Structure 1
Amino acid sequence: MPQHADKAHLRRRAELFGGGEDHRRFGGPTTGDERRMLLDVLGAQRATLELKCSGLGPELFLRSVAPSTLSLLGLVRHLADVERRWFRRVLAGQDAPALFSSASDPDGDFDRAEATPGVVEASWEAWRTEVAFAERFAGQARDLDVEGVDSWRGTVSLRWVLIHMIEEYARHNGHADLLRERIDGAIGL
């Protein structure tokens, strides 16, 4: 510990971020029904992304380091496309192309994340719409063995998609930790 550090202001990086909302993020069951546990853990990961972005406006666009185009807004857009892919296209079988990326612009989710209010609002609206669809689909599915066919993974079950989504959010929430700390110094889980 640096000699000049004031012990009253010390804090641990692993402490909870944002105070009062944390009980909701991590209050789900730890035993019992598999679907409920998977949905609650995924819900906590989604809430963590929102929390890491809370209170920011145009700062959501700030990039990590050159040459990367990684930003909090890019993560929101990317995760909207990921939610859409797995739940709408693969599991529900809908014709639902990605909203922010395409074959001709595969990194459009990040590269086209602009700091304008319209882009920020549209990105959040798209993410919330896709999350709501995913929550309804997963909650109403007859069981976790509901299957869909993906061009990358082949046949996948709802169970696999939920596990994959938890992993996807956990990885990107790690990015969000670093991006948020770079923006305003906020740290925590």
Structure 2
Amino acid sequence: MDAGEGNDVSTAQRWTRSTVHTDMWVDPDDDPREDDVEGVDERSALLAALRHFRLTMEMKCAGLDAEQMARRAVPPSTMSLLGLVRHMAEDERHFRRLAGEDLPRIYRTAEDRDGDWNGAVADPAVVEDAWRQWRAERERTDRFIAGFADLGTRTAGGELLRDIVLMQITEYARHCGHADLLRERVDGRVGQ
């Protein structure tokens, strides 16, 4: 399963091809991260940024097989694109833990605190599970946020929802930078 599964096939294919800049992802006019919606208020601006980085993560993984997804950065790092997807599934769940929900970890355990990275092996079933978990956790996070009219609300965990959303955007942005380098190592595609 690649990042485009569940999406229109032509869209997934466009994510790995540009006719304008062949080393980039998409033609500027076809970039799914760009839309005509203006961030006229704090909520829409923050949620648009979160959407942007989630799509960037998905684009960086589009069209790759299990071996390419699991390919490690450089020793001794365990970082891979597959590990990033698993890590971000954990982070989406952690978002709701910060807000006060009592949720178990997905991949990490007391024995393996880096289970999200260490378990990212070149197995199509592991890749499929990672995408399924990530998408499910994203949807749960989105439903959670939608339950609050004001991002200035304190959650059950005592945190301002705005701060948790900003932290999530920052986490995605940081890891999208890692994904740029990892994808370039796989096939030469560069950031956009």
Same fold (TM over 0.5): yes
Residues 18, 51 of structure 1: 8 Å contact kept: no
Residues 21, 27 of structure 2: 8 Å contact kept: no
Q: Give the aligned partner of residue 154 of structure 2.
A: 147
Q: Give the aligned partner of residue 119 of structure 1.
A: 126
Residues 12, 188 of structure 1: 8 Å contact kept: no
**In the alignment, structure 1 residue 164 sits paired with structure 2 residue 167:** yes
Q: Give the aligned partner of residue 98 of structure 1.
A: 105
Moved more, 16-25 or 62-71: 16-25
Amino acid at match of 2:32: R
Query: Any residues of structure 2 matched to 1:6-155 within 5 Å, and which?
Result: 17-19=25-27, 23-27=31-35, 29-58=37-66, 59-87=68-96, 89-91=97-99, 93-148=100-155, 155=158
SS at match of 2:122: coil
Query: TM-score of the superposition, structure 1-length normalised?
Result: 0.83
SS at match of 1:25: coil
Larger radius of gyration: 1
Tell me, in whole angstroms, the C-alpha distance in 1 between the residues paired with 2:159 and 2:109: 22
Q: 1:169 to 1:133 in 2, by over 3 A?
A: same
Q: Deviations over 1:93-151 (max 9, x none)?
A: 3321110112321111001111111110001100000001111111231210232366x
Amino acid at match of 1:131: R
Tell me, in whole angstroms, the C-alpha distance in 1 between the residues paired with 2:156 and 2:147: 19
* C-alpha RMSD of the superposition: 2.3
Q: 1:22 to 1:63 in 2, by over 3 A?
A: farther
Aligned length: 173
Residues 61, 73 of structure 1: 8 Å contact kept: yes
Stretches of structure 2 that go unaligned for 5 or more consecutive residues are 1-19
Q: 1:21 to 1:184 in 2, by over 3 A?
A: farther
Q: Higher strand fraction: Structure 1 or Structure 2?
A: 1
Amino acid at match of 2:174: R
Tell me, in whole angstroms, the C-alpha distance in 2 between the residues paired with 1:80 and 1:22: 27
Amino acid at match of 2:107: F
Stretches of structure 1 that go unaligned for 5 or more consecutive residues are 1-9
Identity within the alignment, %: 43
Q: Give the aligned partner of residue 6 of structure 2.
A: none
Q: 1:183 to 1:158 in 2, by over 3 A?
A: same
